[in-house]
Amino acid sequence: MRFHPMPLCHTRALRAAADTAALRRTCEFMIAESPHVSIHLDRLDTLEPKVRNAKPWVWPYDARARTEADGLFCAATNAAMNGGYWYRSTETGDVTQWQTRGSGSAALQDWLDAMREKRLLPGWDHVGIGPDAEPWRQAVAAMLEGLPYADHRRQVLEEFADPERRAALDLLAAEVLAGAGLSVEFGHADRLADIYPAGFRSDPMRKKAILAFLLVANNMGSRGLPVTWNAGFPADYQLPRVCAWKGVLGFSSAVNAALRDPRTLMPIASEEVFHIRAATFVAVETLAERSGVPSWLVDGALFMGCRKDPAFLAEAPPAMRVDGTWF
């Protein structure tokens, strides 16, 4: 199928959104007459039972983390590297997934564990980006060989080895971690993207930047620490599947065909992909509002609650296979 470029005005509006409400309004405007996706908020009642008793899921920090700021650094590193799992093979032309046990995030975690074993993790095993970093760069390049979007991942890792960026992150951590808990506003995602632009800046919907704080929220929430959340949820390719499964979202015949064609790699900045993500953002934020459950918990409840559900696995549409590293 022929994919449509995202209108520049919509991209600019997403980037200009200063808070969750503004991003939601932009998403609502984008999908109001979408030819690619329809939204049926009257079907949200089918999802409410899954989020009513939502609880945090445990996301562990690196064992060397000693402070909550260390925890945010762990989460930010993971979130920045997260994504970019689908790619087209240069040898066969087929669309391939970097995965372990059927999961891209599991493949990433296994790779990060291998980096840890070889003492190559930036900010822990290696700090610094000057001439002395060359042996570390060469070792990282060897670890990245054969991975999709390897050059981008190298740039991300170099940012996390920069002590000046870590100092800026610690200042941000002091703000969101003031007191005994975590308090996150949408603008903090932009602040994180300013510190680590290679990792977070490119996506106008801030998926990975929001994900970094969401991982911290789950870690702290699972320990009984208070979480105040006004940062939306990280819109990627998982919750659209859940929403479509329950009829909250509907896709055009062309989009359905693209999702089910294993040879199709969807342009990550296409109108089709953005409309799916925008509709999901509206649906999840509305569900959070109606259920009285914050969206960081709604996200986990829907994904963790469905990913192994036999009915979901049999009936939900496939995940979007996209050509970039935003999610």
Mean pLDDT, range 263-276, rounded to an integer? 96
Residue pLDDT, tens place only, 40-63: 999 999 999 999 889 999 999 999
Q: Is residue 97 part of a domain?
A: no
Q: Is residue 1 part of a domain?
A: yes
DSSP lists the bridge partners of residue 86 as: 97
Check residue 90 and give its pLDDT.
Answer: 81
Look at residue 258 and tell me whether its pLDDT is greater than 90. Answer: yes
Q: What is the pTM of this model?
A: 0.94
Closest to 266 measured CA to CA, from 221, 323, 222: 323
Q: Is residue 116 part of a domain?
A: no
How far apart are the C-alpha atoms of 279 and 248, rounded to whole Å? 9
Residue pLDDT, tens place only, 191-250: 999 999 999 999 999 999 999 999 999 999 999 999 999 999 999 989 999 999 999 999
Q: Is residue 322 part of a domain?
A: yes
Q: Is residue 5 part of a domain?
A: yes
Q: Is residue 99 part of a domain?
A: no
How far apart are the C-alpha atoms of 74 and 216, rounded to whole Å? 9
Q: Is residue 92 part of a domain?
A: no
Look at residue 92 and tell me whether its pLDDT is greater than 90. Answer: no
Structural domain boundaries enclosing 185: 1-85+162-327
Count of the separate structural domains present in the chain: 1
Task: Share the mean pLDDT of the chain.
Answer: 95
Check residue 126 and give its pLDDT.
Answer: 96
Mean pLDDT, range 6-10, rounded to an integer? 95
Q: Is residue 8 part of a domain?
A: yes
Residue pLDDT, tens place only, 163-191: 999 999 999 999 999 888 999 999 999 99
